[in-house]
Structure 1
Amino acid sequence: MPPIPAPHSASPSDSPGTATVALVGAEFGWGSSGKLSAVLSALRDRSTPPLRFVGMASGLGRPLLAEHAVDGWYDLPDDPGRAAASVGEFVRSQGVRAAVVVLDGAAATALLAAGVPTVFVDSLPFLWSEGDRASLPLDATVYCAQKSVELPPECRSVLADARGLRWVEAVIARPRASEPERGARRRVDRPYRRALISLGGLRAPNLLAPEHYPRLVVPAALEALAAHGVEEVHIAGNLPGGLAGGLVDSCAAPPRTTAGPLGHGAFLERLDACDVLLTSPGLTTLLEAGGLGVPTVCLPPQNLSQIFNGRYHSQALGARLRVLWPKEVLVEDDVLALRSKGEDHALERIYGAIGSAVQGGGRQEVGRALRDGVLDALRRSAGVGAWDALTTAVGTRGSAQVADALLEVLAASGPPS
């Protein structure tokens, strides 16, 4: 399990008295790494004991954490049967004293088995049912469940068994200005001229064709933005390489349309500068946009959690700000009915429906329906007076609360050798 070279590297013995903390984010989208970035920023902003950070797995999200001092990234073997031994070796060789893990239940379980006190961050507690119980590290030292607008009854009995359950507010980077200033500072009558399209979740482990969702959604979103008078668009997210350019050329896009991934800090800067955000409804992105008071339209969901996220967003803001799949493609309630068997069953239905829409004969009709849906949502957004309702409902202090949990765990484990 060789380390991937980092800008700087140090062994545990190089820094006497320094506590080494392992970082892990789920290999699903960029939300996990955004949360790790926010926690690291919170630790940097407070007086802490000397800390050294090393990363494990999290290959997808490493670029988003490039601005932070992580001493090295370590891969895990592809064979799950060898993972436990590799995690044990990682812990011993790096002198790991504690860990922060976002949504990767298997990694958290392996670190706990290796004797590492672990703070687990669950930003999707509303998602789980009995079918997901085995995949959750309910014995985590501290189980930080992020507050949500609603908590469906099927997840309550699962979370009740989390030994170190602690409810935290939204784990996001805090805006420079206060939430009231951000939420009210954007003029609701200002026309949209600059837009940001954000797509995440396209590298989920069981998603075999990540190009399907953007092929359907990106041209529709671009044409709707152009029809709405938007002149400048940037497409951000983990799109398959080379795909974005072809999608831009295939449609009547706004005159200044660019594409490319953004680090977490650069994404927040671009988000703060835009007039409107169109996003696949990842929760971290929705909460960050709310903290900045950015008008936001939810594109169709591409996984199970995004169905909930889009609904919560529209509910909190009191307006229909999300675009639905045509019923010929996907009926959300049919997907939600599969949750009792576990998340994977619902994801299989969603991925299959999107793939069929791309490969079937009605692709153009689906594209037109999505374009019209985006345009309708953009028009309805003009009636929203303040855009921070969802973020305000769950709070914004989660990154600091997770950082405090980590420091408590480190204090309880005693000084480093």
Structure 2
Amino acid sequence: MPSIAARHSAAPAPRSAPVTVALVGAEFGWGSSGKLSAVLAALQDRSALPLRFVGLASGLGRPLLAGHAVDGWYDLPDDPGLLGPSVREFVRSQEVRAAVVVLDGAAAKALLAAGVPTVFVDSLPFLWSEGDRPALPLDATVYCAQKSVELPPECLEVLADARELRWVEAVIARPRASAPEGGARRNTGRPYRRALVSLGGLRAPNLADPEHYPRLVVPAVLEALAAHGIEEVHIAGNLPRDLAGRLVDSSTAPPRTTAGPLGHGAFLERLDACDVLLTSPGLTTLLEAGGLDVPTVCLPPQNLSQIFNGRYHSRALGAPLRVLWPKEVLVEEDAVALRSESEDHALRLIYGAIAAAARGDGRQAVGHALRDGVLDALRRSAGVEDWGALTTTVGTGGAAQVADALLGVLGTAGPLA
């Protein structure tokens, strides 16, 4: 891949120009871009400095940030050996003064090596063990670890070596003014009629085929929603183009079923307007739904973090609101046991199990089991009184706290060499 300089020619900004901040989100799902969106919104409210933003990598999540003023996006090379030189050229040509990086350890390390003060946002600190240490930028200028319901000792041992560790609340967009206070959802007790289905994480690294998960899950979810009396559903997320439409069977889906990706602001508006959310349990989505007190059912996990997220969600709300994979597909404890070696070991097992189920002869049986699991979870959701419990546990001020960390860095950062 050509260097950044070859792909994007740009004259250095004049010294009187706004201070340039680089943005990076992990190429894993849409959660990192949702966090960047929330931080950008907080910076708009809090910064007395004129700021200019440039994006690095984050190809998957760029559409979610379309509503923000990002002055160009720049690709990184696929070859890890070219990462350092490419980042140095990017920093030089764009006069980058600081960076906010969400979950992309390699990019954070490259920026730090290039002399850029970097605020690293770690929304999954509960995952890490000694096997993950080499991938984490523990020498970040500020290491913002998001508070969690549970923090195993092995992750605390790793994070204890972070040079400047700060625990922050959930890094999510602020709830809309229409969101009720005190955990009481509007029109509590009425039957669900409008549903939102959200699938993220489908373009993760090392995921061989992003269609396996939705092919197993989406038809089962739509059939369950129709059986539950849902009249309108929208399928959102980073699904392969046109796949959602191909998975909709008009004979078994709710009568008004639509599909298509949503920008972050549009997603929050749709979330606020729906009666129930069914989502692969990405943490940002669960926390945003909690901030709006939206009834939420967790679909089967796509990766290791989603196993923990779904468990924390059900525990906080006091009801089993998770749809589990049939044991013939995946035994979660087998994946959790591999966590001590590293996240990647567990991911290989999970991805392989889902792929085998999608290609196997038992797809119909898996679909029936998932449909029944969704229906059971929807029925159990009627007993939940406080849908904001998970979000309340970890707080909602993380975006402002990360923004303040960046502004503090900019206040003390000297000129780059």
TM range, normalised to the smaller chain? over 0.9
Q: 1:247-269 CA distances to partner (integer Å, 9 max, x unpaired)?
A: 10276000000000000000000
Matches within 5 A, 1:248-287: 248-249=248-249, 252-287=252-287
Matches within 5 A, 1:38-117: 38-117=38-117
- The 1:393–1:19 alpha-carbon spacing in structure 2 relative to 1, beyond 3 Å, is same
Q: Find the aligned partners of 1:194 and 1:170 in 2 and give their Cα distance.
A: 27
Aligned-pair CA distance for 1:180? 5.7
Matched, 1:410 2:410: yes
Aligned-pair CA distance for 1:45? 1.3
Report the equivalent of 1:25.
25
Report the equivalent of 2:149.
149
Matches within 5 A, 1:169-188: 169-177=169-177, 181=181, 183-188=183-188
- The 1:2–1:81 alpha-carbon spacing in structure 2 relative to 1, beyond 3 Å, is closer
Contact between 2:234 and 2:259, CA under 8 Å: does it hold in 1?
A: yes
Amino acid at match of 2:108: A
Aligned-pair CA distance for 1:79? 1.0
**3-state SS in 1 of match to 2:290:** helix
Report the equivalent of 1:338.
338
**3-state SS in 2 of match to 1:45:** helix
Amino acid at match of 2:160: A
Matched, 1:300 2:338: no
Q: Find the aligned partners of 1:72 and 1:15 in 2 and give their Cα distance.
A: 19
**3-state SS in 1 of match to 2:205:** coil
Amino acid at match of 1:348: R
Q: Find the aligned partners of 1:66 and 1:15 in 2 and give their Cα distance.
A: 27
Contact between 2:4 and 2:90, CA under 8 Å: does it hold in 1?
A: no
Q: 1:327-378 CA distances to partner (integer Å, 9 max, x unpaired)?
A: 1110111100001111111000001100111111111111000000000000
Amino acid at match of 2:44: R
Q: Find the aligned partners of 1:396 and 1:259 in 2 and give their Cα distance.
A: 29
Amino acid at match of 1:187: N
TM-score of the superposed pair, with normalisation by structure 2: 0.96
Matches within 5 A, 1:389-400: 389-400=389-400
Runs of 4+ off more than 2 Å: 1-6, 9-15, 176-180, 185-188, 414-417
- The 1:10–1:19 alpha-carbon spacing in structure 2 relative to 1, beyond 3 Å, is farther
Amino acid at match of 2:408: E
Q: Find the aligned partners of 1:126 and 1:98 in 2 and give their Cα distance.
A: 27
- The 1:384–1:184 alpha-carbon spacing in structure 2 relative to 1, beyond 3 Å, is same
Matched, 1:327 2:327: yes
**3-state SS in 2 of match to 1:198:** strand
Aligned-residue RMSD, C-alpha: 1.9
Aligned-pair CA distance for 1:316? 0.2
Amino acid at match of 1:44: Q
- The 1:153–1:50 alpha-carbon spacing in structure 2 relative to 1, beyond 3 Å, is same
Contact between 1:223 and 1:251, CA under 8 Å: does it hold in 2?
A: no
Aligned-pair CA distance for 1:177? 2.9
Amino acid at match of 1:30: W
**3-state SS in 2 of match to 1:302:** coil
Q: 1:262-296 CA distances to partner (integer Å, 9 max, x unpaired)?
A: 00000000000000000000000000000000000
Contact between 1:329 and 1:353, CA under 8 Å: does it hold in 2?
A: yes
Matches within 5 A, 1:183-202: 183-202=183-202
Q: Find the aligned partners of 2:11 and 2:298 in 1 and give their Cα distance.
A: 44
Amino acid at match of 2:248: V
Aligned-pair CA distance for 1:47? 3.7
Q: Find the aligned partners of 1:47 and 1:113 in 2 and give their Cα distance.
A: 26
Report the equivalent of 1:137.
137
- Structure 1: gaps spanning 5 or more residues: none
Amino acid at match of 1:312: Y
Report the equivalent of 2:356.
356
**Pairs aligned (count):** 415
Aligned-pair CA distance for 1:80? 0.9
Contact between 1:188 and 1:384, CA under 8 Å: does it hold in 2?
A: no
Aligned-pair CA distance for 1:186? 2.2
Q: Find the aligned partners of 2:210 and 2:252 in 1 and give their Cα distance.
A: 23
Q: Find the aligned partners of 2:346 and 2:375 in 1 and give their Cα distance.
A: 28
Aligned-pair CA distance for 1:415? 7.4
- The 1:3–1:215 alpha-carbon spacing in structure 2 relative to 1, beyond 3 Å, is farther
Report the equivalent of 1:125.
125
Aligned-pair CA distance for 1:386? 1.5
Report the equivalent of 2:233.
233
Q: Find the aligned partners of 1:163 and 1:69 in 2 and give their Cα distance.
A: 31
Aligned-pair CA distance for 1:48? 2.2
- The 1:178–1:261 alpha-carbon spacing in structure 2 relative to 1, beyond 3 Å, is closer
Q: 1:56-97 CA distances to partner (integer Å, 9 max, x unpaired)?
A: 111001111111111011111111111100000000111001
- Structure 2: gaps spanning 5 or more residues: none
Q: 1:228-256 CA distances to partner (integer Å, 9 max, x unpaired)?
A: 00000000001011211111027600000
Report the equivalent of 1:388.
388
Q: 1:162-181 CA distances to partner (integer Å, 9 max, x unpaired)?
A: 11100000000001338762
Contact between 1:4 and 1:73, CA under 8 Å: does it hold in 2?
A: no
Q: Find the aligned partners of 1:225 and 1:356 in 2 and give their Cα distance.
A: 26
Q: 1:178-200 CA distances to partner (integer Å, 9 max, x unpaired)?
A: 87627213233111000000000
Q: Find the aligned partners of 2:146 and 2:179 in 1 and give their Cα distance.
A: 18
Percent identity between matched residues is 82
Amino acid at match of 2:175: P
Q: Find the aligned partners of 1:415 and 1:401 in 2 and give their Cα distance.
A: 24
Contact between 2:21 and 2:53, CA under 8 Å: does it hold in 1?
A: yes
Amino acid at match of 1:98: A
Amino acid at match of 1:320: P
